[in-house]
Amino acid sequence: MRLFDTELKNLRDGIMAMAGIAEEMIELTIQALAERSSAKADRVNELDRQMDEWELKLDQLCVDLLALHSPAATDLRLIASSLKIIPEVERIGDHCCNIARRASFVHPPILSEGSLERLGQETRGMVRRAVDAFVGHDAALARAVIKNDDTVDDLYAQIYRELLRIMLADPLCIERASHLILVIKNWERIADQATNIAEEVLYILEGRSAKHPYLRGNAVE
């Protein structure tokens, strides 16, 4: 294998490793919230450090590949999109930390049973599928992720309204509800990150931007 191909493989493998950490962090975050587990929240923070290390390493790799190999066509698209995917994955880690550190402030539960869990699982599924689309060069799956963002947005809005009702009804719940608003906002942001990753996957595969379809008339089919 040529050196350049080896380096491209290192890049893809690195992004997959980062994504693996992100998925583990999401899983731990869901558990930390459900179980009020500070041990799991601590583990999320530890993983975030690994994530940050990967980000620095892969950013440098991308710049080196651009500087030393003058990539074109698919290779260029992979590297250009990697430079955008890498920070998206890293942000997922940051959001997980934000959620996990609130795990002890949201108990006892005030939300209707299962709704918070469902938001976490939906978001987790989106991240998983965005990563699978990247790994498997799967444009259809990337499109499905982009569509799925509406489901998470709806769920977020629904929980947000519920929290407002709870706060109005019982001021003693305001502190927990405030933490929960930030928790659900962070989940919703992670889903956006998954969407952005899926858009980059489409760019890598098809060579045209899938962002802001309203500006380009290229709505996701």
Partner 1 sequence: MLSPQTPETKPVKLSVRNMDFRYGEKKVLDGLSLDIHAERVTAIIGPSGCGKSTFLKCFNRIHEISAPVKVSGDMMIDGVDIYRGGIDEVDLRRRVGMVFQKPNPFPKSIYENVAFGPRLFGVKDKATLDGIVEDALRKSALWDEVKDRLKESATGMSGGQQQRLCIARALAVNPEVLLMDEPCSALDPIATAKIEELIVELKENLTIVIVTHNMQQAARVSDYTAFFWLGKLIEMDLTERIFTTPRERMTEDYLTGRFG
Q: How does DSSP classify residue 37?
A: -
Per rule CB under 8 A, is residue 71 in the interface with partner 1?
yes
Per rule CB under 8 A, is residue 70 in the interface with partner 1?
yes
92 CB neighbour count, 10 Å cutoff? 29
Closer to partner 1 by Cβ: residue 69 or 101: 69
Q: Name which position in 23, 24, 27, 75 contacts partner 1 (CB under 8 A).
A: 75
Interaction pattern, residues 24-63, with partner 1; x per rule: CB under 8 A: ----------------------------------------
Q: Name which position in 6, 38, 74, 112 contacts partner 1 (CB under 8 A).
A: 74
Residues 6+ apart with CB under 8 A from 68: none
The whole-angstrom separation of Cα 78 and Cα 61 is 12
Q: Name which position in 72, 140, 169, 219 contacts partner 1 (CB under 8 A).
A: 72
3-class DSSP assignment, residue 1: coil
- Cβ proximity of 55 and 185 under 8 Å: no
Closest CA to 60 of 3, 2, 14, 25: 14
Region near partner 1 per CB under 8 A, out of 67-75, 104-112, 134-142, 188-196: 67-75
Per rule CB under 8 A, is residue 66 in the interface with partner 1?
no
Q: How far is the CB of 63 from partner 1 (least distance, A)?
A: 17
- Residue that the structure tokens 């601590």 belong to: 42
Region near partner 1 per CB under 8 A, out of 32-40, 68-76, 129-137, 190-198: 68-76
The whole-angstrom separation of Cα 197 and Cα 129 is 10
Say how many Å lie between the first and final Cα of the chain, rounded.
37
Per rule CB under 8 A, is residue 219 in the interface with partner 1?
no
Give the binding site for partner 1 (CB under 8 A).
2, 4, 70-77, 207-208
